[in-house]
Amino acid sequence: MAVSIIILAAGQGKRMHSLLPKVMQPLAGKPLLQHVVDTSVRIGADDICVVYGHGGDAVPAAFAGQKLRWALQAEQLGTGHAVQQAMPETPEGNRVMILFGDVPLLRPETLSRLLDSCGADEIAVLTVDMQDPFGYGRIIREGGNVVRNVEEKEATAEERAVTEINSGVMVCPAGRLKGWLDGLDNRNSQGEYYLTDIISLAVADSCMVHGVKADSWVEVMGINDKKQLAEAERALQARLVDELMTQGVGFADPARVDIRGSLNCGKDVYIDVNAVFEGEVSLGDNVRIESNNLIRDSQIGSSTIVHSNCHIEGAKTGDDCEIGPFSRLRPGAELADNVKVGNFVEIKKSTIASGSKVNHLTYIGDTDIGKDVNVGAGTITCNYDGANKYRTTIGDNAFIGSGVELVAPVDVGAGATIGAGSTISKFAPADALTLERAKQVTVPGWKRPKKKS
């Protein structure tokens, strides 16, 4: 039977003390709400509707292009009222699963288990046992079945002692849900339409309500403030690193790595402390990432080593390369196999063919470098005249001396040698020495200036 997922995301999140709506707060590099949407897509939901309100159109705008339905809840009158906003366009015959935009760590497996736990015209609520259930709705059972939920503020002392809490996640038949929602009132301590009150309405309607327990409270944790956001971040990182270790990736310290996106690893990859991976990153077999590296949207070839303190973004390396320490690869840096890039070297929108080395203090921008080229220390490709950018090409086997400026557009032929300290602005022919330097002079009798007394 088709499943509609309704994600409640209209709340403000006052306790975040942020200009960003709560569901837009980033967790592992993407908004809280995106995690819930991605999980919904992964369980194969047929229809996903987000109830939004606080933050206005900024929330739907941030999700433009994703297959989502949006329902505005202009005033936040409670979780029951929020679900009601999504119902007019929800097909009567569907099952509805309700999720919260600020409960991002639910696993698809748990949601599938919840769906499988009840019949098409029954209700299932996801619960969990909590040592300190303060603040949550308590699940009241009779003869093992769930009969109602009572919110903290309405609970008696006896009910408060119940440790099984309501996660807020539930599954119900859409047609019957509409009727129960119409039956809600707001006569409670918060003056809100509580979604949770549909449980007792359903029971009165002879509808079976199943309580399904999640394995850990971490999955159902709601994010209300920056402390809980940080706690959720650590929990999610631990989960991601655990998966990678199970696949055979080695970490110096599983607690000191951050993955904000997807990290694909080959065999025998080793990652030292404080590596941050953002966007889509892939590491080939036997790659070694040393400490303090940021790698974003990049591919690192097999057996390549990235020494400490590199910043790599939108770049690709071949196999057996050596990068860093202190290298910066910018978007469009493409290295073939066996390339070496050393300390304080920046490479942008450039290709470097196999066996070439750029080892020290160099800027390579908008350049194509051939095979087995040696670029000397302090070389700069002058690719920008203040208005436009131009390319530099360097042929195979060229040798660029130290401190050379290559003023683009300019070509250096294969096998050419450029003398140290030259400013090259015209073609440098293949297999010849080209240099551009003023004659060295020595001034006889010259004295250093003296300090005035």
User: Which residues are catalytically annotated?
Assistant: 360
181 contributes a contact to ligand UD1 by CB under 6 A: no
Site for ligand UD1 in 291-330 (CB under 6 A): none
Beta strands in 108-256 (DSSP E): 123-129, 138-142, 145-150, 164-173, 209-213, 250-251
Q: Which is nearer to ligand UD1, 217 or 399 (CB)?
A: 217
- Picked from ligand UD1, Ca ion, none, the partner binding residue 271 (CB below 5 to 8 A depending on kind) is none
The least distance separating ligand UD1 from the CB of residue 67, rounded to whole angstroms, comes to 21
Q: Which long-range contacts (CB under 8 A, 24 or more apart) does 258-265 make?
A: 258/28, 259/28, 260/28, 260/29, 260/30, 261/28, 261/29, 261/30, 261/297
Q: Which is nearer to ligand UD1, 78 or 301 (CB)?
A: 78
Q: Which is nearer to ligand UD1, 59 or 271 (CB)?
A: 59
Select from 28-36, 96-104, 173-181, 329-337 the region that touches ligand UD1 (CB under 6 A): 96-104
Position of tokens 């020290």? 360
Q: How many residues lie near ligand UD1 (CB under 6 A)?
A: 27
Give the three-state DSSP class for 251: strand
Q: Which is nearer to ligand UD1, 114 or 300 (CB)?
A: 114
Select from 24-32, 215-223, 345-353, 423-431 the region that touches Ca ion (CB under 5 A): 215-223
- Picked from ligand UD1, Ca ion, none, the partner binding residue 365 (CB below 5 to 8 A depending on kind) is none
> Can you tell me which of 195, 306, 321, 333 binds ligand UD1, judged by CB under 6 A?
195
Dig out the tokens for 227 from the structure.
Answer: 């402390």
Q: How far is CA 337 from CA 16, 181, 300, 363, 393, in A?
A: 48, 63, 10, 20, 19
Degrees to nearest 5, angle at CA 253 with 252 and 258: 110
For the CA atoms of 61, 65, 70, 74, the dihedral, rounded to the nearest 10 degrees, stands at 0
Q: For residues 50 and 63, is the Cβ–Cβ distance under 8 A?
A: yes
100 contributes a contact to ligand UD1 by CB under 6 A: yes
Select from 108-116, 142-150, 217-225, 299-307 the region that touches Ca ion (CB under 5 A): 217-225
> Can you tell me which of 60, 108, 175, 222 binds ligand UD1, judged by CB under 6 A?
222
CA R_g for the chain: 31
Q: Supply the DSSP string of 415-444, one letter for each residue.
A: T-EE-TT-EE-S-B-TTSEE---PPP---T
> Can you tell me which of 3, 5, 11, 241 binds ligand UD1, judged by CB under 6 A?
11
Q: Nearest to residue 103, comparing CAs of 236, 263, 237?
A: 236
222 contributes a contact to Ca ion by CB under 5 A: yes
Dig out the tokens for 450 from the structure.
Answer: 């003296």
Q: Which is nearer to Ca ion, 23 or 201 (CB)?
A: 23
Dig out the tokens for 20 from the structure.
Answer: 């960003």
The least distance separating Ca ion from the CB of residue 39, rounded to whole angstroms, comes to 18
First-last CA distance in the chain? 95
Phi then psi for residue 252, to 5 deg, are: -65, -40
Q: Nearest to residue 72, comparing CAs of 89, 88, 86, 91?
A: 86
Select from 165-173, 329-337, 340-348, 352-360 the region that touches ligand UD1 (CB under 6 A): 165-173
Q: For residues 27 and 232, is the Cβ–Cβ distance under 8 A?
A: yes
- CA separation for the pair 304, 310 (Å, rounded): 13
214 contributes a contact to ligand UD1 by CB under 6 A: no
The least distance separating ligand UD1 from the CB of residue 236, rounded to whole angstroms, comes to 18
168 contributes a contact to ligand UD1 by CB under 6 A: yes
Q: Supply the DSSP string of 268-284, one letter for each residue.
A: T-EE-SSEEEEEEEEE-
199 contributes a contact to ligand UD1 by CB under 6 A: no
Site for ligand UD1 in 63-92 (CB under 6 A): 73, 76-79, 81-82
> Can you tell me which of 21, 31, 101, 413 binds ligand UD1, judged by CB under 6 A?
101
- Picked from ligand UD1, Ca ion, none, the partner binding residue 118 (CB below 5 to 8 A depending on kind) is none
Phi-psi region of 303 (alpha: psi -120 to 50; beta: other; left: phi over 0): left
Q: Which is nearer to ligand UD1, 104 or 318 (CB)?
A: 104
Position of tokens 């929020």? 82
50 contributes a contact to ligand UD1 by CB under 6 A: no
- CA separation for the pair 71, 169 (Å, rounded): 19
Q: Per-residue x/- marks for Ca ion, 72-91, CB under 5 A?
A: --------------------
Select from 8-16, 29-37, 207-215, 366-374 the region that touches ligand UD1 (CB under 6 A): 8-16
Contact residues: Ca ion, CB under 5 A: 222
Residues in touch with ligand UD1 (CB under 6 A): 8-11, 51, 73, 76-79, 81-82, 100-102, 136-137, 149, 151, 165-168, 194-196, 222
